[in-house]
Amino acid sequence: MISYHEALDVIRGLAVGRELAGEAVALEEGIGRISACDISSAECIPPFDNSAMDGFAVTASRTRSASVAAPARFRVVGCVAAGDPIFRHDGTPDAAIEIMTGAAMPEGALDAVVKVEDVEILRDSRGKVSEILLRRPLKSRENVRGRGEDFRPGQRALAAGTTIMPEHVMALASLGVARIEVRRQPLVAVVSTGRELVHHAEATLAPGMIRNSTAPYLMTALSRYGARAKYYGAIPDDPGHFIDIMAGILRDAPDVILTTGAVSMGKHDFIGAALEKLGATIRFHKVAIRPGKPLLVADWEKPFPAGPKKKSPVVFGIPGNPVSTAVGLRFFVEPYLRAVAGLPPEKPMRAKITADSTKPEGLRCFFKARMLVSDQGAGVTVLSGQPSFMVSPMLAANAWAVLPEAENQARSGTVVDVYPLHPASSGALHD
């Protein structure tokens, strides 16, 4: 039996040489995908100086002595709105131009904008705005949004290894980026094992049978993790059946094969032996964790299937209890998917345990937990109902509390690693 950290080292080692290639997609299609390269701005954004307010563009130096008693007076010689070309005026120093938010600043000495609420507007006999009175000085560039103030040419707008969020789409759209290079989505083949399993839609259960809850869980969770998941069905506990289904799976050349069940010590736990029969190498089988201890990872050492460079899929044989399956996905498969996507290891949050919690000594425990951040800081409560068959506590959980191997308890107040139930796609909220 190896430790969790040793298992992670093996998993990250298997990712080397199996990194997902990049592919170009339309910007909007990149949402949720992982960028494969840096993108820098080619332009100044904003592309031109423009007004931050609805108001009047004037020459700031002419307002230096403006006051309530002695207002500065300007003649309004034009009007510009967003989308209008740059206004060219006659150059007289007392000229003002009515300007709307987003309109380009007029050419020449008009270098500040006073908002419409801050001036007195004088109208001519036909009611047209003709002059304004300004009762305070303006600073040069007041209410002006400068060319290049948001992005300068060459400024990095997107780093490789970023999960694309709507905010990235907004930034890249403003830069005119129409296509982006993202990592190919890994294909994950999912197989359930267990003759007791029936499809989850089954209304009634025959004696001894249970519904397959983890296949739908894995398929939906994997799609959230950016993978393409393909389900190959549930097979009885029979190595022959497994070997048959594997032939079809291997033809589809997935990046990962994820099996559930049949990796423990029971009579029908055939996955390890069947994989060896198929020529695979078991990299480890059994990790010092709870739940999910009998977890197995395998691959084929030889180039695969025939091509000189192609590496084999990596097989994760995950125990069948639903919470063991969830832990296997979250703490083994997901780190592998991160590694092949070129992402750094996920950093945990840290929180204080709110009550003494017992645990088996020597095992790293991934416990269903609820984390809350309050005035007292971050606290994490280990939920009751930790057995790996119990799904109902997952409904109250929002996180996994990780209790390290040493000792048989974690005392209230101890600070532990906490991971959100599913990886945060919008970036960590901590260092």
Site residues for ligand AMP per CB under 6 A:
192, 194, 196-197, 210, 212-215, 260-262, 264, 266, 319-322
At 299, the amino acid letter reads D
Verify binding: residue 254, Mg ion, rule CB under 5 A: no
Q: Smaller CB distance to Mg ion: residue 138 or 234?
A: 234
Site string for Mg ion, 301-330 (x = CB under 5 A): -------------------x----------
Q: Smallest distance, Å, CB 387 to Mg ion?
A: 16
- Out of ligand AMP, Mg ion, none, what residue 343 binds, judged by CB under 5 to 8 A for its kind, is none
Q: Smaller CB distance to ligand AMP: residue 113 or 397?
A: 397
Q: Smallest distance, Å, CB 218 to ligand AMP?
A: 9
Q: Smallest distance, Å, CB 327 to ligand AMP?
A: 13
- Out of ligand AMP, Mg ion, none, what residue 386 binds, judged by CB under 5 to 8 A for its kind, is none
Q: Smaller CB distance to ligand AMP: residue 381 or 386?
A: 386
How are beta strands 55-58 and 112-115 bridged, if at all?
A: antiparallel
C-alpha distances (whole Å) from 349 to each of 380, 394, 399, 401, 429 are 10, 19, 10, 10, 8
∠ CA 331-333-258, rounded to 5°: 130
Q: Smallest distance, Å, CB 261 to Mg ion?
A: 4
Token pair recorded at residue 372: 């809350």
State which residue has the least CB distance to ligand AMP: 320
Among 55, 106, 186, 194, binds Mg ion (CB under 5 A): 194
Q: Smaller CB distance to ligand AMP: residue 231 or 304?
A: 231
∠ CA 291-294-364, rounded to 5°: 40
CA gap 103, 121 in Å, rounded: 20
Of 345, 323, 334, whose CA–CA distance to 229 is shortest?
334
Of 107, 34, 42, whose CA–CA distance to 77 is shortest?
107
Phi, psi of 110 (to 5 degrees): -75, 105
Q: Site for Mg ion (CB under 5 A): how many residues?
A: 4
Verify binding: residue 272, Mg ion, rule CB under 5 A: no
Nearby residues of 182 by Cβ (< 8 Å), 6 or more positions away: 22, 23, 24, 25, 30, 33, 34, 35, 36, 164
Q: Smallest distance, Å, CB 249 to ligand AMP?
A: 17
Q: Smaller CB distance to ligand AMP: residue 63 or 214?
A: 214
Residues paired with residue 229 on neighbouring β-strands, in sequence order: 188
Q: Smaller CB distance to ligand AMP: residue 212 or 357?
A: 212
Q: Smallest distance, Å, CB 342 to Mg ion?
A: 35
Q: What is the CA radius of gyration of the chain?
A: 31
Evaluate the omega torsion of the peptide bond into residue 239 and state whether it is cis, within 30 degrees of 0.
no
Among 106, 186, 261, 292, binds Mg ion (CB under 5 A): 261
Binding interface with Mg ion (CB under 5 A): 194, 261-262, 320
